[in-house]
Amino acid sequence: MKYFLSSLLLFFTWHVGWSQTTTDKLTITHLTGNLYVYTSYGLFKGERIPANGMYLITKQGAVLFDAPWDTTQFKPLMDSIAKRHHKRITMHIATHWHDDRSAGLTFYGQQGAKTYTSQLTDRLCQEQHKPRAQYTFNRDTVFHVGEYIFETYYPGEGHTKDNIVIWFQNDRVLYGGCFIKSREATNLGNVSDGNAEAWPQSIRNVQKKFGQAAHVIPGHDDWKGKQSLNHTLLLLKQEGFE
């Protein structure tokens, strides 16, 4: 019996260790299939806030969606992917121009990844003197990387004027970045560069197009569940924008 309990504990520890890698600055959690959510931390109005990003493992390498908010975690994330999956980051997409999404464009580009943003994001990065991507796309775009397909979608203005979401059809995963608020959120956060009046319709555009999502990943705070789109609409309504 004692041997059985020890073996069970060992299995459980190994399983959790494989499913989630955690430090005080970076957490990597398996989501589904070859998709992973990583969380880093940044300061907003003096408060330590978690920021979520994602990556996809393919035969051709890892595709990184956004970058750690904490710039000291650019290399640890890259090293963790290499150690865990034996893959290098070959592609990186930022979902809007704010630092918690686009700050890694230069770093990952220098490491050999092809970096991408929308043309609108690129223009705003240039205007705001932020890092810029090597490549841009003008319209909603389907990417084929190795054996995987994913697509970018611009729903309209919201958190920022340029925010996009990313859809993984086979896994029914919607990555929303900061355009989508977590169920934990009690307010809209930073809307100084966005359009809160247009945001509700932009959310409905996403609901109409990707209503079959099994996982919806917001840009900050808790990402489990799929109620974040409705919660974002509720927050907008509470603040008089719906």
> Which residues are marked as active site?
96, 98, 100, 159, 190
* Cα separation, 49 vs 51, whole angstroms: 6
Q: E strands within the chain?
A: 20-22, 27-32, 35-44, 47-58, 61-65, 89-93, 114-118, 135-137, 142-145, 148-153, 165-168, 173-177, 215-218
* Cα separation, 234 vs 242, whole angstroms: 8
With both helix axes pointing from N to C terminus, report the angle between 199-209 and 228-238 in degrees, rounded to the nearest 10: 160
Are 108 and 91 in contact by the 8 Å Cβ rule? The answer is no
Give the three-state DSSP class for 192: coil
Which amino acid would we find at residue 187? N
Q: Which of 55, 48, 44 is nearest to 21 (CA)?
A: 55
